[in-house]
């Protein structure tokens, strides 16, 4: 059965044919997040959950004599803008949408704009990207961007700029969230408190050759102020791993607690080493965590070089999170070298047994520049270099213990099973009071792609979701006031607050 996929989620918008004989407006910069095709097996909702901070971070460093605009093609707002026609177009490039980035570059360049490219794909494949831009920024962009604009003003634009991730993160200005179309995201409060991760898994972009990203933390007060300033009830921390330094996370939680807001974050499962930290997270408003379990097989975790508790221990760690009302969105990678064709059913069974509210699956993807890519290349297992399919939804390498077709079919099967009525029901929370909101949110999030498509096109995402988020926030405030006075460990309240956000 093929999943429903409207054209606008599959293909980028067409260019506006009226854009002829245009004249670039001096000191006008346009920043673009290019279109990428969506995976019909997963929820369309995740693409409007919260924005990437790549462009808003750069925008914040734009010199004051420039005007800066923001455009995200994935919000389905139509053809790329050209009035006023920008002097500079800054494009963020990931491998999955590199082709679209190049098409955008060509279109604006032909009409007289100067093209600057940055982002993860520039870091891993600078030589490929270079011909498509007037200048590229390799690595961190906040410090390089104002230099690029100054050099351009002085007629001294360089072809390549290098940004360092060693600069103290706390010195960066807060991202320009005010530029975002607020109606189009479930929340515009993408927050980032830390940069880097204590792990360096062989498949992760953080292990890209040449990337030196030590773990840096922003001051707690900076993060708190940004959350307040964006005036949203709910924030998503987009840190690679918010739990890398437990003491910092504890201090952050103490700073966030008085805000009476809710948030979710990506953490590794070792955050549960100390249940008192999980309690602090709950008291500070954490409603959900995105956990990279990666695999239920220890050999795979060891091969990937990830420092992690034994997989047999995962279940009781999930319970610690659930006991504190924190729902778990588990991320699983399929196709590791120790995976055999039974991996799909075993993983889905485990997710159901442990009642994970949500799960995302990723086909193992060797990103160029990583140790995994080098290994696959050496073993002659890379099937092709069509980067648009390096999106973790397609098989791009030869798996060891199954065929590429088995891996692709197994991946699609996992989503079908986890999004099925039976599976949603099997994973309902233990607390009867939480069942109804869980079901409502699960169906809205997982089985309503037509609805998401409509919300995105009509720019109603925020308006429809905000009341639901606000209800969640209020329920969570009641929940945490009970948690605060409970002295039992684990606390007697088994109450999953809500799902989907």
Chain residues in the site for ligand SF4 (CB under 6 A): 197, 199-201, 204, 206, 240-241, 268, 292, 306
- The listed partner (ligand SF4, ligand B12, none) that binds 241, CB under 5 to 8 Å by sort, is ligand SF4
* Residue whose beta carbon is closest to ligand B12: 118
Nearest partner of 215 among 190, 189, 191, 192, judged by Cα = 192
CA distance 128 to 174: 31
Decide whether 108 or 367 has the Cβ nearer to ligand SF4. 367
Reduced to 3 states, what is the DSSP secondary structure of residue 30? Answer: strand
Long-range contacts of 156-159 (CB under 8 A, 24+ apart): 157/114, 159/130, 159/134, 159/135
Question: Minimum distance between the CB of residue 424 and ligand SF4, rounded to whole angstroms?
Answer: 27
Structure tokens at 262: 């809710």
Nearest partner of 442 among 423, 462, 455, judged by Cα = 423
Task: Give contact residues for ligand B12 (rule: CB under 6 A).
Answer: 33, 36, 39, 46-47, 49, 52-54, 57-58, 90-92, 94-97, 116-120, 137, 140-142, 144-145, 192, 204-205, 238, 240, 362, 367, 391-393
Structure tokens at 193: 């408190």
DSSP conformational letter for 339: -
CA distance 194 to 118: 20
Structure tokens at 431: 């607390």
- The listed partner (ligand SF4, ligand B12, none) that binds 36, CB under 5 to 8 Å by sort, is ligand B12
CA distance 362 to 390: 11
First CA to last CA distance, the chain? 28
Decide whether 54 or 286 has the Cβ nearer to ligand B12. 54
- The listed partner (ligand B12, ligand SF4, none) that binds 140, CB under 5 to 8 Å by sort, is ligand B12
- The listed partner (ligand B12, ligand SF4, none) that binds 306, CB under 5 to 8 Å by sort, is ligand SF4
Query: To the nearest 5 percent, what fractions of the chain are helix, strand and coil?
Result: 45, 15, 40
Question: Minimum distance between the CB of residue 18 and ligand B12, rounded to whole angstroms?
Answer: 26
- The listed partner (ligand SF4, ligand B12, none) that binds 449, CB under 5 to 8 Å by sort, is none
Decide whether 210 or 492 has the Cβ nearer to ligand B12. 210
Question: Minimum distance between the CB of residue 432 and ligand B12, rounded to whole angstroms?
Answer: 32
Question: Minimum distance between the CB of residue 363 and ligand SF4, rounded to whole angstroms?
Answer: 15
CA distance 335 to 198: 24
Structure tokens at 168: 């103290």
Question: Minimum distance between the CB of residue 492 and ligand B12, rounded to whole angstroms?
Answer: 35
Give, in degrees to the nearest 5, the angle at Cα 24 between 21 and 29. 140
Decide whether 124 or 495 has the Cβ nearer to ligand B12. 124
Question: Minimum distance between the CB of residue 292 and ligand SF4, rounded to whole angstroms?
Answer: 5
- The listed partner (ligand SF4, ligand B12, none) that binds 329, CB under 5 to 8 Å by sort, is none
């Amino acid at each position: 059965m093929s999943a429903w996929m409207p054209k606008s989620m599959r293909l980028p918008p067409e260019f506006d044919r009226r854009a002829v004989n245009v004249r670039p407006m001096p000191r006008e910069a346009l920043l673009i997040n290019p279109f990428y095709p969506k995976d019909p097996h997963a929820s369309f909702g995740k693409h409007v959950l919260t924005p990437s901070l790549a462009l808003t971070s750069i925008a914040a460093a734009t010199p004051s004599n420039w005007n800066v605009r923001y455009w995200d093609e994935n919000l389905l707002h139509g053809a790329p803008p050209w009035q006023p026609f920008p002097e500079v177009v800054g494009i963020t490039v990931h491998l999955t949408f590199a082709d679209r980035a190049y098409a955008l570059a060509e279109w604006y360049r032909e009409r007289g704009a100067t093209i600057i490219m940055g982002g993860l794909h520039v870091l891993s494949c600078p030589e490929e990207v270079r011909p498509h831009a007037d200048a590229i920024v390799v690595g961190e962009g906040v410090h390089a961007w104002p230099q690029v604009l100054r050099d351009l003003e002085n007629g001294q634009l360089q072809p390549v700029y290098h940004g360092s991730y060693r600069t103290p993160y706390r010195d960066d200005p807060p991202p320009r969230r005010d530029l975002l179309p607020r109606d189009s995201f479930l929340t515009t409060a993408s927050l980032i408190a830390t940069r880097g991760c204590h792990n360096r898994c062989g498949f992760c972009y953080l292990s890209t050759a040449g990337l030196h990203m030590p773990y840096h933390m922003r001051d707690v007060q900076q993060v708190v102020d940004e959350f307040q300033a964006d005036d949203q009830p709910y924030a998503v921390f987009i840190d690679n791993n918010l739990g890398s330094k437990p003491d910092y996370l504890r201090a952050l939680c103490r700073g966030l607690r008085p805000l009476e807001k809710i948030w979710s974050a990506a953490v590794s499962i070792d955050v549960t080493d100390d249940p008192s930290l999980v309690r602090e997270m709950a008291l500070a408003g954490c409603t959900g965590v995105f956990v990279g379990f990666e695999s239920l097989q220890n050999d795979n975790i060891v091969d990937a070089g990830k420092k992690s508790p034994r997989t047999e221990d995962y279940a009781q760690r999930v319970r610690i999170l659930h006991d504190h009302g924190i729902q778990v969105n588990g991320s699983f990678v399929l196709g590791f070298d120790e995976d055999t064709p039974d991996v799909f059913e075993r993983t889905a069974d485990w997710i159901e047994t442990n009642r994970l509210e949500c799960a995302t699956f990723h086909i193992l993807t060797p990103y160029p520049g990583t140790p995994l890519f080098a290994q696959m290349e050496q073993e002659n297992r890379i099937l092709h270099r069509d980067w648009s399919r390096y999106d973790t939804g397609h098989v791009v390498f030869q798996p060891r213990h199954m065929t590429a077709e088995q891996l692709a079919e197994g991946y699609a099967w996992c989503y079908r099973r986890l999004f099925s009525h039976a599976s949603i029901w099997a994973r309902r929370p233990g607390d009867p009071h939480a069942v109804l909101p869980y079901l409502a949110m699960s169906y809205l999030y997982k089985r309503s792609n037509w609805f998401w498509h409509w919300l995105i096109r009509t720019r109603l995402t925020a308006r429809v979701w905000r009341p639901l988020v606000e209800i969640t926030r209020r329920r969570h405030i009641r929940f945490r006031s009970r948690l605060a006075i409970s002295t039992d460990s684990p606390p007697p309240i088994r109450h999953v607050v809500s799902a989907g956000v």
